[in-house]
Structure 1
């Protein structure tokens, strides 16, 4: 009886003892009391049958310094007994459990949490919010961030957009907060924005055509043409990202939300009284700011430019491009030629600063005067001869030779060649001087040729050219005659080119000489007709003489026979 009572009492005690541990579930956070702080760890009593040891490495040096025996501590129960019967505890896991609980509360409330960027990985960044969380690249900012490494070590407010406690995954976003802030600012800005209003903003982005200004939740475009009254090559010359600027609202479309901004509009338009500051005829100095194929733009003051057309740069006509005369940044003297305030145009002249050499050209180069110069250029229609700086004369292709058929002036002249010529005509208004080269000698068509070549005479020459309308024949150097196809003597189906060949000699008859047109008309047909007639005449002449000779012989024979008959009768 006594043994059975003892056994029953033991069972009741064990049951009571076990009841004290029923809340000590593995994988849960329990409260313990620090018993002692040892070199290898912290001894903790959690009310179990044995104490547990927490590794010293799970505490920071600061935490170790603050620990005292008898204090309560929240601890994580991993195992109530391991293979050796020891209880396994963890302070780190307890802390993590606590943090996860707090994070879950933040997530459920859609509250904001601070996160420190600690490293960069593929697709985004790792952020410390008490535990490690993933910040995708698309959720870092409103626009893509080029240099992610610059964010490492910085702390930002964020929102938890996804979490899975079981897998230990947390995804956070900074962009969500930025969008919310932007939307609030946007609504405030839009409600007060008006055209003509001067507003403050921050340069957010710069492109080739302008700069985007953040006005507070809404971006406005400051176009490059509205940055300055003067010339701007690129917006970066005036602004940098992050600059605070004061701008004017030029246009605001409430439906689309587009805002056009102006910076130069804060200052008066320099073109408003431009005629008063730059009257026609005024001499001034300006800076060349750009070159085009047709001229150079000269800055007179910031925002006011004038154009020097290439034709107004020099009295000389040699320049094919303005860069041959001026360069960008050069300071040049010029004269105001015309002002168009409405068109915002000013015409300038550089050559007008110097005296016009054409004002005295008629006195220096009277018609009939013989001049000497160098060939400056050769064209299809003639040769330009430089007489002096800014003065050229033209020898037209028709005034190169009296007799020679010149196809191109380069057959006679070369660039840079010194030559003589005669002044034929001066047109000061059009700035032209006509020169003649053939006029250095007398016109052979008025003296030598009419005497040497007469209509009806026969000539011999070489074929130089065959055309659809006839054949050109060189009679002597620089003197040609034309055998028209109708005078070629070629009958169909034969063709002119089948009978005549370049370089072959041909005989013809001169049928017409036109000294005014400088033409000699030849005829092979007439020449052949004359030759045939001469042959017939020679034949008849020869035949007549033969008939006379035969008659004389016959008469002589007859007289002889008669004499013989008279002798017989005697």
Structure 2
């Protein structure tokens, strides 16, 4: 063997004639060489580190070459980060002689062979492997467990993770779920490990969770059929039908990932470990609220939302729609609803029936035209002065002036001479009307013939 100087340079040992004894130089040379075969694992010292390869002295007739791609299971690594001069390294013989006569070795293949036996033993014992995440690939993560272990994205956590990048560099524990040496395939599942380690915690959590309880949670994911909410130990599902009292086209219109919400526990399935939740159960039922604040016979203001052959639907509250039957649209006969109203039109309607249990409200445009008691919220909106003590609309001079009237008042204030002319013209018209006899009365005063 040679030696390394203070600068790390390797110097082969010089063979002198006295070293040989009775052997010839060829005999001594042959005796000093190790015998290697393809696929054999050998050990040697690192004698040179370049950017694209490492030279390893294994006692063969020439140093073995480890290409940089064969140094580590990690891709695109700097050889100097993997080995240093003088390191003792195991390598697998890939090729005794390439076309240039070089011995080609692989450090990562030797590492793989050593690790494979350990991995097989761990899987047989249903144990756990551990290693740092070294790469994000399509569909998951690569862990360094002595070889490249693939962890699918769907098996990283108990629920699917969208962004895998933050896991790079973290050391994760996982179960081995698939092993195929011929295909160099190792599939891992961290979710299986989490389920196993958290089973007792989940059982305790579920045992202490009772239907009817109100809990705080954070929306963890939103899907087409609802939203999953993290309750601080497990996720529960709020089905789309339990998100709101109103119709919901997509759960994303009601909640978003990260929202903190209050939910009520509807059902706890211990066998399947599923929790059903409701968001709307913690909120005021708009139908109940409407029924509490209104009564049959009241006038309410609404907006036409939809026309049907038998009438029109009118929205009279947040998420509250009532039906104006075609017979209640007008005092005269109506063949089609569009003869009276159009979608988007706003108008007064009278409540003629309110069925909270069936969530149905019957309304009438025809009866609203006849007047009645206006609902309290509209009295406040239009001003109490516009209604008598019984809530009937009476209008009056104290009504808020229209925008046009206000504009004219401002104009006349700036042009008093025109205002005076208008006043004088009005007085002249009034005087003329007062002097002339009423046409009908004059005719009646004339004798017949």
Where do 1:402-413 residues align within 5 Å? 402-406=332-336, 408=338, 412-413=341-342
Using a 3 Å threshold, how does the CA distance of structure 1 residues 105 and 412 change in structure 2: closer, same or farther? farther
- Tell me which residue corresponds to 1:388: 317
Shift in Å, 1:279: 0.9
Using a 3 Å threshold, how does the CA distance of structure 1 residues 322 and 383 change in structure 2: closer, same or farther? farther
Contact 1:195 1:250 in 2 (8 A): no
Report the Cα distance in structure 1 between the residues aligned to 2:254 and 2:155, rounded to whole angstroms: 32
Which of 436, 442, 445 is residue 364 of structure 2 equivalent to? 436
Which of 190, 202, 208 is residue 277 of structure 1 equivalent to? 208
Contact 1:425 1:434 in 2 (8 A): yes
Q: Deviations over 1:235-290 (max 9, x none)?
A: 555x435x544444567789998665433022335442444322111112111222
Shift in Å, 1:327: 2.9
- Tell me which residue corresponds to 1:418: 346
Where do 1:140-155 residues align within 5 Å? 140-141=71-72, 145-147=75-77
Q: Deviations over 1:85-117 (max 9, x none)?
A: xxxxxxxxxxxxx9xx98997586566463533
Contact 2:300 2:351 in 1 (8 A): no
- Tell me which residue corresponds to 2:282: 353
Q: Report the structure, 1 or 2, having the larger strand content.
A: 1
Which of 102, 106, 110 is residue 180 of structure 1 equivalent to? 110
Shift in Å, 1:224: 4.6
If asked which structure has higher relative contact order (CA below 8 Å, sep 6+), I would say 2
- Tell me which residue corresponds to 1:287: 218
Higher-Rg member (1/2): 1
Report the Cα distance in structure 2 between the residues aligned to 1:284 and 1:338, rounded to whole angstroms: 13
Contact 1:126 1:133 in 2 (8 A): no
With structure 2 as the length reference, what TM-score do the two structures score?
Answer: 0.57
For 1:196, what is the secondary structure of its paired residue?
Answer: coil
For 1:272, what is the secondary structure of its paired residue?
Answer: helix
Report the Cα distance in structure 2 between the residues aligned to 1:174 and 1:408, rounded to whole angstroms: 86
Report the Cα distance in structure 1 between the residues aligned to 2:241 and 2:354, rounded to whole angstroms: 20
| RMSD of aligned residue pairs (Cα, Å) | 4.8
Contact 1:295 1:309 in 2 (8 A): yes
Report the Cα distance in structure 1 between the residues aligned to 2:95 and 2:67, rounded to whole angstroms: 11
- Tell me which residue corresponds to 1:331: 260
Report the Cα distance in structure 2 between the residues aligned to 1:306 and 1:73, rounded to whole angstroms: 77
Residue ranges of structure 1 left out of the alignment (5+ in a row): 1-59, 63-71, 75-97, 120-124, 443-570
Which of 19, 39, 46 is residue 114 of structure 1 equivalent to? 46
Report the Cα distance in structure 1 between the residues aligned to 2:292 and 2:15, rounded to whole angstroms: 118
With structure 1 as the length reference, what TM-score do the two structures score?
Answer: 0.46
Shift in Å, 1:375: 0.9
Report the Cα distance in structure 2 between the residues aligned to 1:253 and 1:149, rounded to whole angstroms: 29
Residue ranges of structure 2 left out of the alignment (5+ in a row): 8-13, 17-24, 371-449
Report the Cα distance in structure 1 between the residues aligned to 2:204 and 2:300, rounded to whole angstroms: 52
Where do 1:110-509 residues align within 5 Å? 112=44, 114-119=46-51, 125=52, 127=54, 139-141=70-72, 145-147=75-77, 157=89, 161=95, 169-175=100-106, 177-191=107-121, 193-203=123-133, 205-207=135-137, 209-216=139-146, 222-229=151-158, 232-237=161-166, 239-241=167-169, 243-248=170-175, 260-261=188-189, 262-264=192-194, 265-302=196-233, 304-315=234-245, 317=246, 319-359=248-288, 361-362=290-291, 364-367=293-296, 369-375=297-303, 377-378=305-306, 383-396=312-325, 399-401=328-330, 402-406=332-336, 408=338, 412-415=341-344, 417-440=345-368
For 1:358, what is the secondary structure of its paired residue?
Answer: helix
Report the Cα distance in structure 1 between the residues aligned to 2:303 and 2:286, rounded to whole angstroms: 20
